[in-house]
Each structure stands twice: as C-alpha cells, then as structure tokens.
C-alpha cells in the first residue's frame, strides 16, 4: 500500500497544476488551430471547412506586418544586448559590495506597470517633453523635429521595456565565471582584449542566449509599444491580431495569423536551441 | 633576460581585468535612462493640468492625490487587479508548489512531457496564449469576465512557481524526511514541519513572481476580460482619450509600496544572514 502510494505520489502532485495547464493552455491551442481552418462570420457562426486559405490570405495581406514584427523584434533584441552587456560586465566584475544595489536599481522599472511604463516613455519622447523640449529651446534640434510615430520610437520603447530581461541572465553568466580561469589566462600571457575575447565572452554566451529568448519572443509579439509609440504607420502583427479579433471579429483569420506567428517563433527557438545545444538553452530558460 | 623582466609586468594588471571608470559612468547613465520615465510619471502626478491630456507641465498641485478615487471605474479596475493578483498568487502557489515538488523529487513517466508543457507555457508569446483562450471561450460560449481572467492568470503563473520550487526541491536530501518519518511523523507532519520549511524560499519567490506577473499583465488579460477592467486595461483604454493624472498617482503609490516592501525584505534577509 505504501509503495503504491509512493508510485502514485508524483502523479497526484502534478495533477492539479497539470490539469489547469491542460484546460487553459493546451486545449485553447487546439481550439485556435481548429478555428484557424474555419470559415464564417460572427453573425452566422463559424464552421469547419478546412479552409487553409486563411493562412495564405493572412500572409498575403499582413505578411509585411509579420516581417516588420520580426525586424523590430530583432533590432530591439540587438539593442538590448549592446546596452546590457557592458553594464552587466561592470556590475559582475566591479560592482564589489554594491552588486545587489545596482541590480535593484536596474530592476526598479518592474515596479511600474508595463503599459504605464510605455505611456511614461511616450511622455518623455513627446515633442515638447522633458527631453526634446529643452533641446529645441537651446537650438540643438530643429523645431519640427519629432520622435513619436516612428519605427525608432517603437524599437526604443521595446528596448526600454525589456532591457532588464537581458541584463539579468548576462549578469548571472558573468558572475559565475571562476576568476581563477581569468587569472590563468593572464598568466599565459593573454592581453586584456584576448582575455575578454577568448575567455570571458565565450563563458558569458549562455547568458546572452537566454536573454535573447527572454526578449525576442515577447518583443516581436508585443503590440502595446507599437500602438502607444508608433502610431498607425508602424503597426506590428500583434496589433493586427488584436484588431481582427476585437474590431473585425474575423476570428478565423486572426487565429491563423496568431498560429503563424507562434510557428515561426517556435521553429526559431528550437532551431536556435539545436544550434547551441538544447540543454543549455532549456536550462537557461528554466532559470 | 627580457622574458623574466616582462613576465611580472605582464602579470601586473591581473588584479584589475577591467578598468572601471568609463563603464561605471556608462552603467550610471543606463540606470538614469531606466529611471527617467518613472521620474516623469511621478512628476506628472503633481501636474496642475486643465486639459484631458497630461503632457505639458502647468504647475504643481496635490489635487490628484486628494481626488485619487474620484474616477469610480478606475478605482474598480485597480481593486480588480489587486484581488485577481492575490487570488492568482494563492492558487498558483499551491498548484505550482505541488508540481514543483513532484518534478524535483521524483522520477516518473510523463515527467518529460510535464517539463515540456511548462517550458512551452513560459516561452509561448502572450499574444498566442491570449488569442487561443479567446478562441476557446468564444467557441464554448463561455462568458468572459473576472473568472476567465483569473483562470488565465493562474495558467501563466503556475509554471513559474513550479520551476522556482523545483530548483529548490532538487537539492533536498531525502534522508532528512526519512529521519522525520523514522521518528514517527506522518506524511502530512513531515511535509509541514520538514519539507515545507526547506523549500520555503522557493515557494516565496514563486509567489512573489506570480503576484508581479498577474498584477502587471496586459496582453492575456485584454483577450480574456470581456467587459471587466483591470488597472493595465484601464490605462490602455485611456491612452486613446488622454490619461488622467490619477493614473500617475496610482502608479507612483504602487511603485512606492513595491519598492518599500522590497527594501524591507532585503534588510530582513540581511539581518537574518548576520544573526545566523
């Protein structure tokens, strides 16, 4: 009896959480997959017709938005790496006693709601706002200069919002490096640049990879930044899915687009994980 | 001769692989950039604006602090956000802790699938989770509102709790629990007095994560909310017509409380570390 309970224990423990994930994560995916192949409209209802054209139609009409999402996502991710790495490096190696204070400061934005942070960033970038206003006043920028309603504004907002997700994993990877390895490199006559390029950088790459997964996926499917900062001319695939669902009630098309986005991102993640060794990426993502 | 001379020279910089100044200034500027919008948000909570748009500085006032709860629907949205986050934290922490224990302590068939589903739930774009939930609710004619938001929030939080608990449970020595059972403790007593205290740090950080994820969530909530409003949804809707200063004040107060709790938590952890 006791042995039986021992064998059943893990299943009983996993069951409640697993059921919840099954009902509200796995089953909805199945629903969305089937809706994406239906035809119909909100009034007459949707029926299953294996209408694969939803996918090709979606790509025909909104392919450019999809490409733009991946492009903005890629740019913001690269900007995050470039901005995060030096800071993570300095904190990990030179932060001394104040390491946790610096990390705390970098995480402070998370105490403000994501949407509100984006609105606040818009406030910073407005034409007569606290940055552009003075610069124009001093004659450093022409009067008509503006940043909002541009691709740059969207990418800057995405970078701003997701930067801490890049700093943390890079910091963790750098912090883990055994200092004796670096000393050994110096003892073997490596210069500062060589130590960085051949020791520190390769050892910190798992952190960068984890950071890329944690930023690229949410960034390229975001629609808050595009809506608040980009105006009508810079919409991303997230805006399209949202509009198709809520304003046009074209559930089939929206599901097809949403599925396409997920397929691209999933294939991307798994190809990426394959190329870098599945275990590392899964582990890094699991942290 | 030359080699013996150059060797110590070469070794000299080894204690300082990084020269700090430039990078320190850079890091300071980066922090300043991250905090600038928050400073602006706080400042514009004191803005004596007359128009619907709160974009230009028109003078200092405490009016919005005094009239914080004037907008009834905004207050309702904030209350919804906080109660949903609290309920999510309780449910997700219980379910996630159980699953995390199973995944960390036991080997069983289906473990790989469980890990995979959790990994998928964590890495899946919110847009896809939100729209698939909407597809299901529409197809099954489930009315959307408070409960569907709650179900969705528990769904995306539970994996995070499970993973933090799993990380903690993996390192546990099963001999400690065996010892408790040898001393006559039943399974429940063993769990309450031995296992739970050992995994508590993981449970607590998982719970905090669940609260933070839930209270801040916008995208999935937007797809599952129906007519129910939460704080992020209200702010989102207001961006089209003009965000009132009360939003800045609420943001400021949430920020202040959050930071204060975090500092108290850090101080308490440090003190405990010192006394032990």
- A84 within a domain of the structure (yes/no): yes
Write down the pLDDT at residue B239. Answer: 87
Residue span of the structural domain in which A192 resides: 62-286
What mean pLDDT comes out for the span A20-26?
96
Write down the pLDDT at residue A173. Answer: 92
Chain A neighbors of B105, CB-CB under 8 A:
10
Residue A244 makes CB contacts below 8 A (sequence gap 6+) with A250, A251, A253, A254, A257
Mutate to test the interface with B, among A115, A201, A256 (most CBs of B within 10 A): A115
Chain A window 182-221: which residues touch B at a Cβ cutoff of 8 Å? 182-183, 186-187, 189, 192, 195, 200, 213, 217-218, 220-221
A162-199 burial, b for 16+ CB within 10 Å, e for fewer?
Answer: bbbbbbbbbbbbbbeeeeeebeebbeeebeeeebbeeb
* CB-based contact, A113 to chain B, within 8 Å: yes
Nearest-CA distance A189 → chain B (Å)? 7
Calculate the dihedral angle through the C-alpha atoms of B150, B156, B162, B167, rounding to the nearest 10 degrees: -140
Average pLDDT, chain A: 87
- Structural domain total, chain A: 1
Closest chain B CA to residue A125? B37
- A191 within a domain of the structure (yes/no): yes
* CB-based contact, B72 to chain A, within 8 Å: no
Considering only the beta carbons, identify the residue of B37, B232, B259 that sits closest to A121: B37
pLDDT tens readout for residues B6-46: 444 444 444 444 467 889 999 999 999 999 999 999 999 99
Chain A neighbors of B215, CB-CB under 8 A:
113
Chain B neighbors of A121, CB-CB under 8 A:
37
Chain B neighbors of A21, CB-CB under 8 A:
117-118, 121, 155, 158-159
pLDDT tens readout for residues A49-104: 888 888 988 888 899 999 999 999 999 999 999 999 999 999 999 888 888 889 99
Residue A14 makes CB contacts below 8 A (sequence gap 6+) with B98, B99, B102, B103, B110, B114
What CATH number is given to the structural domain containing A67? 1.10.3720.10
- A23 within a domain of the structure (yes/no): no
Domain B72-243: CATH class, spelled out: mainly alpha
């Amino acid at each position: 009896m006791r042995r039986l309970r021992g064998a059943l224990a893990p299943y009983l423990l996993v069951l409640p959480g697993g059921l919840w994930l099954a009902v509200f994560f796995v089953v909805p995916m199945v629903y969305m997959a089937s809706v994406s192949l239906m035809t119909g409209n909100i009034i007459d209802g949707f029926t299953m017709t294996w209408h694969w054209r939803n996918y090709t139609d979606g790509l025909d009409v909104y392919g450019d938005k999809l490409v733009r999402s991946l492009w903005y996502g890629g740019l913001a991710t690269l900007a995050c790496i470039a901005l995060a790495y030096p800071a993570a490096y300095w904190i990990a190696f030179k932060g001394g006693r104040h390491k946790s204070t610096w990390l705390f400061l970098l995480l402070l934005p998370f105490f403000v709601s994501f949407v509100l942070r984006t609105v606040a960033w818009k406030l910073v970038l407005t034409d007569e706002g606290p940055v552009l206003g003075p610069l124009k006043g001093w004659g450093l920028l022409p009067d008509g200069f503006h940043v909002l309603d541009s691709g740059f504004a969207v990418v800057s907002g995405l970078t701003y919002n997701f930067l801490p997700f890049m700093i943390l994993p890079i910091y963790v990877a750098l912090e883990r490096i055994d200092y004796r390895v670096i000393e050994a490199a110096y003892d073997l006559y490596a210069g500062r640049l060589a130590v960085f390029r051949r020791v520190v950088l390769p050892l910190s790459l798992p952190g960068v990879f984890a950071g890329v997964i944690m930023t690229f996926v949410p960034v390229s499917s975001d629609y808050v930044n595009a809506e608040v900062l980009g105006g009508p001319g810079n919409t991303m695939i997230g805006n399209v899915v949202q509009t198709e669902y809520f304003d046009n009630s074209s559930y089939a098309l929206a599901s097809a687009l949403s599925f396409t986005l997920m397929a691209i991102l999933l294939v991307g993640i798994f190809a990426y994980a394959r190329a870098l060794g599945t275990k590392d990426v899964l582990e890094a993502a699991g942290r | 001769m030359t080699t013996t001379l150059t060797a110590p020279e070469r070794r000299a910089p080894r204690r300082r692989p990084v020269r700090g100044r430039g990078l320190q200034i850079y890091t300071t500027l980066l922090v300043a950039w991250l905090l600038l919008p928050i400073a602006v948000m706080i400042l514009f909570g004191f803005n004596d604006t007359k128009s619907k748009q709160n974009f230009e500085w028109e003078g200092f006032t405490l009016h919005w602090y005094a009239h914080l709860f004037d907008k009834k629907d905004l207050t309702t949205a904030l209350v919804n956000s906080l109660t949903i986050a609290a309920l999510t934290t309780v449910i997700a922490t219980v379910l996630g802790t159980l699953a995390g224990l199973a995944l960390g302590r036991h080997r069983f068939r289906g473990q790989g699938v469980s890990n995979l589903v959790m990994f998928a739930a964590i890495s899946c774009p919110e847009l896809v989770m939100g729209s698939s939930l909407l597809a299901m609710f529409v197809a099954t004619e489930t009315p959307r509102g408070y409960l569907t938001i709650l179900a969705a929030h528990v769904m995306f939080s539970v994996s995070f709790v499970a993973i933090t608990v799993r990380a903690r449970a993996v390192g546990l020595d099963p001999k400690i629990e065996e010892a408790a059972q040898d001393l006559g403790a039943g399974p429940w007593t063993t769990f309450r007095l031995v296992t739970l205290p050992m995994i508590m740090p993981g449970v607590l950080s998982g719970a905090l994560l669940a609260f933070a994820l839930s209270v801040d969530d916008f995208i999935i909530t937007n797809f599952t909310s129906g007519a129910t409003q939460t704080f992020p949804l209200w702010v989102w809707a207001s961006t089209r017509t003009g965000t009132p200063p009360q939003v800045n004040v609420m943001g400021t107060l949430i920020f202040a409380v959050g930071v204060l709790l975090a500092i108290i938590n850090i101080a308490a952890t440090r003190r405990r570390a010192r006394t032990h």
